[in-house]
Structure 1
Amino acid sequence: MTTNKGLLSLAICLLLGASGCGGGGKPRAATAEGGPVKGGTLTVFNNADFNHLDPARNWTMRDMGFGARLLYRTLTTFKPGSAEVVPDLATDLGRPSEGGKVWTFTLKDGVTYEDGSPVKAQDVKYNVERSFSPELTGGPDYARKYLISDGYKGPLTGKHLDSIETPDDKTIVFRLRRPVAEFSQTTTLPTFSPVPQSKEAGVKYDDRPFSSGPYKIEKYQRKVELVLVRNQHWSPATDQVRKAYPDRIVVNMSVGGAARDTRLIADQGPDRSAIGYTDVALPVLPKVFTDPRARQRMSSMVDGCTGLIYLNTAKPPFDRQKARMAVHYAADKTALQTAAGGPQMAEVVGAILPPGLTGGAQRDLLNIPPAGDVEKAKALLAEAGVQTPVKIRMATSAGGKAQAEALQAGLKRAGFDLQIDLVDTSALNGINGTPAKMPELQFGGWCPDYPSGSTFLPMIADSRLISEGYHGGNASLLKDPAIDEKISEIDAMTDAQAAGKAWLELEEQVMATGAYVPVTLVKQNNLFGSNVAGVTGNPIWEGNPDFAEIGLKDPGLSK
């Protein structure tokens, strides 16, 4: 999100037109004839380096999909192009006991590293322990939340975690603080992949993860190029998910944005065997839609990150629920969608949770017209006892200016006078993330790490996350004891289906506070060359192409 679960928007959904996270929707794959075959070199165009490839630190959605499909395996994973959880390193989805507070996994036979040595349960334990290390920042924090840890600071201190047991090389047992009904989904995260203690390199492990997946690193020159070659010791007999079609995968970190897309549209020479790592640049998208051949070579999928407007409940006028609801009715979401690039880039929504967490259905909880209901907004402001014009502020970077101005115009119709402070991107986190500095509203958003409401609603609405120096994800600074209590109640459930229903009920409760205005779901559009096949978006990893099944039609054309 950088989807590292700080406010996603501050890196991605803040711009509403930038593609972001993981989630719902049906992917559209290539329709060109010919499927992928073994061999050749797949080129990946990107104009930036990976945030992290160390599995203990990898919490950026695109990078998680890349690492977990190509370099390392996890206890459980997702079917290609799907949110369905299936076994990966483990023989099954885990066996809960003691009311869901203890989970046991057994590793498959024949799973090995790039040097042919066996993957052991102790190696999975070691990487989970690494996620506690203050030196290894940026990774998923679910192990810290769920495991009994008592101030544990990671294995670099020479200590190990008692709440993870490995009675033998094939068995790993997790003892949790509380029941976690969806722990099988939690173990899809890179945190639950193996790292042998003998390969520990601290922060330098980012430069050369030791492979348990179908590829290993041949060369990694930061900000320039990553070259992957086959891990000859990877056994497809133990892996029903990854097809590993290309012989080599080369990530070129000097081609991105409009230049990348122009090359992929032209589809010449070796570029026919290339794919874009990130979504199509907005200025180029009209060229794709007017070129039938290029459009046929674009994977398009609604990602699972909901773009939100956070209303600061600690400041007037948004310390009043009806004033907050007035924003829901005053906002012109159609204009916001247009500012984000139009329907081909974003879908207007009327609920907080994305379809991936609601059984595929896009809910509309308030039934407000996309362009708003100005008279209703005015009436709510009057009922709130707020005098107009209502002066409010927001801070955004230059990249968010168009969306901010679209919001400004919509709110003005109802009597809001929104001042837009343009600030440098580097300063934005400090303003929008620090409670004492936060303006009346801000753009934001959230993405689930896996298909469970537990990875979404608690992150944005639990008041216990708020500290003096950081809102913890609750950027509305909402403090509602009833919501906090309900979160704890659902967390204690041992039935995943019952918990899923309860999260939907809680969504309605959270929406009723008015503190979060759902705006859009962003579409992820990725171009690829005519020699590339097997491209489908994955609903978990931002709707980005799933590298499990991508390959070339004719390996000879990649030379």
Structure 2
Amino acid sequence: MAFTKKPLAAVAATALAATLAACGGGSGDDDKGSSGGPAEKGGDAIFLVGVRNVEHWDPQRMYIGRDLNNSGRLFYRSWVAFPASNDPTEGTTPVPDLATDTGTTTDGGLSWSFTVRDGVKWEDGKDITCEDFKYGASRNFATDVIIGGPANYLFTYLDVPTGADDLPEYKGPYSKVGQDLFDKAVTCEGQTITYRFKKPWPDFPQSMASLRYMDPYREDLDKGDANNYVIISNGPYKLDGDWKKGTGGKFVRNENWDSSTDEIRKAYPDTWDFREGDTDEAIYEQLLADSGDAQYAVTERRLPPALFSRKDEAGDRYTKVESPYVDYVLPNFNSEVFKDANCREALKLATDRAAWIKAGGGENYFKAADSIINPAVPGYQPNPSFADIPAEGDTDAAAAALEQCSAPKPVKIKFTYSGGTPTSDKQASALKAGWDKAGFETELDPLEDTYYSVIQKPDADFDVTWGGWGADWPSAGTVIPPLFDSRINLTGDSNGNDYGNYKGGPEVNQMIDDAYAEPDVDAAADKWTAVDAKLGEDVAYIPLEITLFNFLHGGKVTGYANNISVNGYADLAVVGVEK
């Protein structure tokens, strides 16, 4: 199973903090971690990326937790950020980053203003300006170029009218169609920007601390899609040369970063060498041996189940964290098979969650899920469409539903999933076995390199696909709309994060709008629960499990801590290595 999950943010801060404390995953002290002693300046650190390559370094396109975490700690900054702390309150409260404060609102979140602090520069020495922030925000609206990011939030909130296609009438800075509409919603006065929203957005600072879509961007250096792996740094490190997909790249110190303007990033190592290409097994054989370069390495790949029995060899270099992510599968509503509700019902009933979990390592790696919403998200309730199905599935009921399916028999389906590891292939095979037992004929289609960029194509050739998601901040409103609101996801060029191309129609759209409009937190949570129940009835998704993190790091890594404010990964803001 791929470990490039979608992002967390502040969700389940208390639960994560408790898990970290119990397992020695880090402390609230910026300079000390679970092992290796205090971090010091100097040395060369390594980040082992593995076979799941970085898909985007473009901040407006980035939407994978690992990459959001790493880029925000090493080379990208925004108005605000989360501090390096595992305290459940402090670690999830935004602090000023490129801004002079955490933002000002005088109307309950209907508008927000931020001012660029003095002395912050790009890697080439140019000052970061208000206009850079405005331009960065504008790029989200170019849905034919900037594909894959969390633009849905701006589409939902920013005071830009929508057209007949349910998308904003502003089409981004490349075409400049509707530019005047955007210019009314986002204005610069000197170094102060003001964002104006259609409805109050009190947690806007949290969204910017969690994600990168509101980061500043250089208009003079923007080449659209050609900039996907171009990094224009304003943080402590810059890319030395080019990023090479499948190989990686090396980050060196950015001489135009001023530590006095940055209260978050300690930037201890002299360099960070990001390495793509090794399998999880190869990575962990190196980390368990703790020899050579591996002594200076951290990773976001999980300890493979086949090596789990050796974890005690690592001593306090081993960390276990309950993640905020839920894995799930989705029927493709563009598939001729799954346009039929009976076929979707059969798939749901035939899904063997227990076999998936066992193939992935069992209870040391997963907890069964009964909703796409993580239980730590406020207002979570088990989805009634899944709560009563045995973890092993119900083959007889699935077979009966499949008999009512209009597709030719046997019902042939293609399962596209994030492959490339023995574990992910075993898990896919476990699902295939359950589906085939009920009468499906399943073809396995592993994607071993780029994943999300493939399944985000509306015409992608699959019947079922895999996804993983964690709330962007503590609200079901950062789970359901980003995944299932067709109005903000489905375009001619992309399905956004609605990988199954689900269209709930007027009923679901109205339910989502009602939940957004509810000012009372508890009442809003109930309304999101109702939307989730409707998604279950439609079989818009099938939940699998909640992922548990199992990490090792090298013995010469110092100040190791997991960043619970982002997603439980190693917090590169405070990690160092011995010289």
CA distance in 2, matches of 1:66, 1:446: 18
Alignment-derived partner of residue 90 in structure 1: 99
The Cα of 1:173 is off from its aligned counterpart by 0.6
CA distance in 2, matches of 1:252, 1:474: 28
Alignment-derived partner of residue 476 in structure 2: 453
Cα 1:96–1:500 change in 2 (3 A) is farther
Alignment-derived partner of residue 128 in structure 2: 119
Residue in structure 1 matching 2:284, options 258, 261, 265:
261
Cα 1:319–1:536 change in 2 (3 A) is farther
C-alpha contact 2:267 2:573 (8 A) present in aligned 1: yes
Alignment-derived partner of residue 143 in structure 1: 154
Matches within 5 A, 1:15-26: 15=1, 18=3, 20-23=5-8, 24=12, 26=16
Q: 480-489 or 198-207: which moved more?
A: 198-207
The Cα of 1:268 is off from its aligned counterpart by 1.4
The Cα of 1:112 is off from its aligned counterpart by 3.5
Q: What SS does the corresponding residue of 2:364 show, helix, strand or coil?
A: coil
Alignment-derived partner of residue 293 in structure 1: 313
Matches within 5 A, 1:354-503: 354-358=374-378, 363=382, 367-368=387-388, 371-372=391-392, 374=394, 378=397, 381=400, 391-397=410-416, 399=419, 402-410=426-434, 416-423=438-445, 425=447, 434=458, 439=463, 441-464=464-487, 465=489, 473=498, 475=500, 477=502, 479=504, 481-493=506-518, 499-500=524-525, 502-503=527-528
CA distance in 2, matches of 1:226, 1:424: 26
Q: Does residue 217 of structure 1 match 2:239? A: yes
Q: 286-295 or 123-132: which moved more?
A: 286-295
Cα 1:210–1:178 change in 2 (3 A) is same
Percent of pairs with identical residues: 27
The Cα of 1:367 is off from its aligned counterpart by 4.0
Residue in structure 2 matching 1:534, options 555, 559, 565:
559
- Matched positions, count: 529
Q: What does the per-residue CA deviation read over 1:479-509, in whole Å, with 9 as the maximum and x for residues that have no partner?
A: 3533221101223345666544542443344
Cα 1:130–1:303 change in 2 (3 A) is same
Residue in structure 2 matching 1:77, options 76, 81, 87:
81
CA distance in 1, matches of 2:531, 2:564: 23
Q: What SS does the corresponding residue of 1:484 show, helix, strand or coil?
A: helix
Residue in structure 1 matching 2:43, options 23, 40, 43:
40
C-alpha contact 2:60 2:213 (8 A) present in aligned 1: yes
The Cα of 1:137 is off from its aligned counterpart by 4.3
Q: 220-229 or 120-129: which moved more?
A: 220-229
CA distance in 2, matches of 1:380, 1:328: 11
- One-letter code aligned to 1:32: S
Q: What SS does the corresponding residue of 1:547 show, helix, strand or coil?
A: coil
Cα 1:516–1:99 change in 2 (3 A) is same
Alignment-derived partner of residue 130 in structure 1: 139
Q: Does residue 187 of structure 1 match 2:214? A: no
Q: 302-311 or 111-120: which moved more?
A: 111-120
C-alpha contact 2:4 2:66 (8 A) present in aligned 1: no
Q: 89-98 or 479-488: which moved more?
A: 89-98
CA distance in 1, matches of 2:140, 2:482: 19
Q: What does the per-residue CA deviation read over 1:318-346, in whole Å, with 9 as the maximum and x for residues that have no partner?
A: 8458x866665553321110122322332
CA distance in 1, matches of 2:454, 2:287: 38
CA distance in 2, matches of 1:291, 1:201: 46
Cα 1:438–1:55 change in 2 (3 A) is closer
Residue in structure 2 matching 1:279, options 284, 301, 305:
301
The Cα of 1:127 is off from its aligned counterpart by 1.7
Alignment-derived partner of residue 368 in structure 2: 348
TM-score (norm: length of structure 2)? 0.77
C-alpha contact 2:45 2:297 (8 A) present in aligned 1: yes
Alignment-derived partner of residue 230 in structure 1: 253
Alignment-derived partner of residue 164 in structure 2: none
C-alpha contact 1:21 1:540 (8 A) present in aligned 2: no
Q: Does residue 51 of structure 1 match 2:52? A: no
Cα 1:420–1:234 change in 2 (3 A) is same
TM-score (norm: length of structure 1)? 0.79
Cα 1:370–1:527 change in 2 (3 A) is farther
C-alpha contact 1:461 1:483 (8 A) present in aligned 2: no
Cα 1:417–1:202 change in 2 (3 A) is closer
Residue in structure 2 matching 1:335, options 330, 336, 355:
355
- Any gaps of 5 or more consecutive residues in structure 1? 1-14
- One-letter code aligned to 1:310: L
- One-letter code aligned to 1:21: K
CA distance in 2, matches of 1:493, 1:230: 46
Q: What does the per-residue CA deviation read over 1:82-103, in whole Å, with 9 as the maximum and x for residues that have no partner?
A: 7714032234443335564322
Q: C-alpha root-mean-square deviation of aligned residues, in Å?
A: 4.1
Cα 1:76–1:495 change in 2 (3 A) is farther
Alignment-derived partner of residue 522 in structure 1: 547
